[in-house]
Amino acid sequence: MADSTPPARKWRIAHSEASLGWGGQEHRILAELNGFRSRGSDVWLVAPPDSQLYQRAEQAGIPVKAQRFKQRALLPLHVLRMAWWLRRHRIEIVNPHSSRDSWMLTLAARIARVPLIIRSRHFDVPIPNKSLSRLMYKEWSHHIITTSPKITDTLIATFGLAPEEVTTIPTGVDLQRFRPDGPCAALPLPALPAGTPLVGMVTVIRYAKGAQILAAAADLLRGQGLRIHCVIVGDGPWRTHLEAAIQDLGVQDLFTLTGHREDVPDLMRAFDIVAIPSFHEAIPQSGLQALASGVPVVASNVGGIPSIIKDGETGRLVPMQDPAALASAIRETLEQREKNQAMCAEGRRFIEREHSLENMLDRLEAIYHRHLG
CATH number at residue 113: 3.40.50.2000
What confidence score (pLDDT) does residue 2 get? Answer: 41
- Do both 301 and 269 map to the same domain? yes
- What contacts 136, CB < 8 A, 6 or more positions away? 102, 103, 106, 119
Q: What is the mean predicted confidence (pLDDT) over 62-67?
A: 97
- Do both 340 and 366 map to the same domain? no
Considering the domain boundaries, does residue 111 fall inside one?
Answer: yes
Choose among 352, 343, 246, 257: nearest CA to 298: 343
- Do both 341 and 361 map to the same domain? no
Question: Which stretches of the chain are assigned E, i.e. beta strand?
Answer: 12-16, 42-47, 64-66, 93-96, 116-121, 143-146, 166-168, 198-202, 229-233, 255-259, 273-276, 297-300, 316-318
Tell me which amino acid residue 201 is. M
The 10s digit of each residue's pLDDT in 286-344 is: 999 999 999 999 999 998 899 999 999 999 999 999 999 999 999 999 999 999 999 99
Considering the domain boundaries, does residue 188 fall inside one?
Answer: no
Considering the domain boundaries, does residue 193 fall inside one?
Answer: no
For 276, what's the count of Cα atoms within 13 Å in the CB-facing half-sphere? 29
Considering the domain boundaries, does residue 295 fall inside one?
Answer: yes
- Do both 217 and 271 map to the same domain? yes
Domain count for the chain: 2
The number of beta carbons lying within 10 Å of the beta carbon of residue 121 is: 25
- Do both 237 and 332 map to the same domain? yes
Is residue 8 a contact partner of residue 40, using CB atoms and an 8 Å limit?
A: yes
- Do both 217 and 324 map to the same domain? yes
Q: How far apart are CA 119 and CA 97, in angstroms?
A: 6
- Do both 123 and 231 map to the same domain? no
The 10s digit of each residue's pLDDT in 179-200 is: 999 999 999 999 999 999 999 9
Q: Is 234 helix (H, G, I), strand (E, B) or coil?
A: strand
- Do both 19 and 71 map to the same domain? yes
Considering the domain boundaries, does residue 63 fall inside one?
Answer: yes
- Do both 292 and 367 map to the same domain? no
Considering the domain boundaries, does residue 187 fall inside one?
Answer: no
Quote the domain boundaries for residue 239.
Answer: 198-354
